[in-house]
Amino acid sequence: MENEFDAIVVGSGISGGWAAKELCEQGLKTLVLERGRNVEHIKDYPTMMMNPWEFEHRGSMTKKFYDENPLITKAAGFGEDTAHFFIKDADHPYEQKKPFDWIRGYQVGGKSLIWGRATQRWSNYEFTAPKRFGYGTPWPIEYSDVAPWYSHVEKFIGVCGNKDGIEAMPDGEFLPPFEMNCVEQHAKKRLLEEYGNRYLVQGRWAQLSEPKQVHLDQGRGQCQCRNMCMRGCPYGGYFSSNTSTLPWAEKTGNLTLRPFSVVHSVIYDDATGKASGVKVIDTNTKEEIIYKAKVIFLNASALNSTLVLLNSKSERFPNGLGNDHDVLGRYVGFHLYRGWANGRMPGFEDKYVYGKNPTECIIANYRNLKERDTDFVGGYTIFSGGYRNRVDELPDSDVQIGADYKHAISRMGSWYMYMYMQGETIMKHENRVTLSETKTDQWGIPLIVTDVGYDENDEKMVKDFLQESRAMLETIGCVDIETNDNKQAPGLDIHEMGGARMGDDPKTSMLNKHNQLHACPNVFVTDGACMTSTGNQSPSILYMALTARAATYAVDQIKNGVL
Exposed/middle/buried for residue 260 (C-beta within 10 Å: 0-12, 13-18, 19+)? middle
pLDDT in the model for residue 436: 98
pLDDT on residue 353? 81
Three-state DSSP at 165 gives coil
Instruction: Give the pLDDT confidence score for residue 406 in this predicted structure.
Output: 79
In the chain, ranges of CATH 3.50.50.60 domains: 4-40+106-118+228-333+496-559
- Measured CA angle at 142 (ends 137, 144), to 5 deg: 180
pLDDT score recorded for residue 481:
98
Q: What is the pLDDT at residue 399?
A: 65
Backbone angles phi, psi at 192, to 5 degrees: -70, -40
Give the angle subtended at the CA of 33 by the CAs of 28 and 37, to the nearest 5°: 135
According to the model, what pLDDT value does residue 395 have? 61
Q: How far is CA 130 from the centre of its chain?
A: 21
Name the amino acid, one letter, at 321.
L
At 413 the pLDDT is 87
CA–CA dist 472, 421 (Å, integer):
13
Please report, in angstroms and rounded to a whole number, the separation of the first and last CA atoms in the chain: 24
Please check whether residue 242 is in contact with residue 109, taking contact to mean a CB–CB distance below 8 angstroms: yes
DSSP run (H or E) holding 446: strand 446-451
356 CB-contact burial (10 Å; exposed 0-12 / middle 13-18 / buried 19+): exposed
**Distance, CA of 468 to CA of 471 (rounded, Å):** 5
State which amino acid sits at residue 84. Answer: H
Q: For residue 411, what pLDDT is reported?
A: 80
How many Å apart are CA 263 and CA 277, to the nearest integer? 11
Which among 329, 267, 253 is positioned nearest to 522, based on CA atoms?
267
Of 461, 465, 455, nearest to 490 by C-alpha is 455
The single-letter DSSP state of residue 73 is G
Residues 242, 259: Cα–Cα separation, whole Å: 13
Q: Give residue 402's pLDDT.
A: 80
Strands across the sheet with 415-423, in order? 200-202, 361-363, 380-388, 415-423, 339-345, 479-485
Q: Phi and psi dihedrals of 314, rounded to 5?
A: -150, 175
Q: Note the pLDDT of residue 391.
A: 74
Query: Mean pLDDT per segment of 10 residues, for the chain of length 563 residues?
Result: 92 98 98 98 98 94 96 95 96 96 96 97 97 96 98 98 96 97 97 96 96 98 96 98 98 98 98 97 97 98 98 98 98 98 96 88 97 97 93 65 78 93 98 97 97 98 98 98 97 97 98 98 98 98 98 97 94
Q: Interior CA angle at 220 toward 215 and 225, to 5°?
A: 110
- CA-nearest of 216, 265, 218, 421 to 338 is 421
- Using N-to-C axis directions, what is the helix angle for 182-195 and 456-476, rounded to 10°? 110
**Is residue 263 within 8 Å of 34, Cβ to Cβ?**
no
**Do residues 27 and 556 touch, judged by C-beta distance below 8 A?**
no
Question: How far, in Å, CA of 262 to CA of 443, rounded?
Answer: 8
258: which DSSP letter?
A: E
- Distance, in Å, from the CA atom of 68 to the CA atom of 59, rounded to the nearest integer, reads 17
Separation between Cα atoms, residue 519 and residue 468, nearest integer Å? 46
Residue 50: Cβ-neighbour burial (10 angstroms; 0-12, 13-18, 19+): middle
Looking at domain 4-40+106-118+228-333+496-559, what is its CATH homologous superfamily? FAD/NAD(P)-binding domain (3.50.50.60)
Q: Report whether 296 contacts 10 (CB < 8 A).
A: yes
Question: Is residue 31 within 8 Å of residue 100, measured between CB atoms?
Answer: no
What is the reported pLDDT for 27? 98
Mapping DSSP to helix (H, G, I), strand (E, B) and coil, where does residue 261 land? strand
Q: In a 3-state reduction of DSSP, which class is residue 121?
A: coil
**What is the pTM (predicted TM-score) of this model?**
0.97
DSSP string, 540-558: HHHHHHHHHHHHHHHHHHH
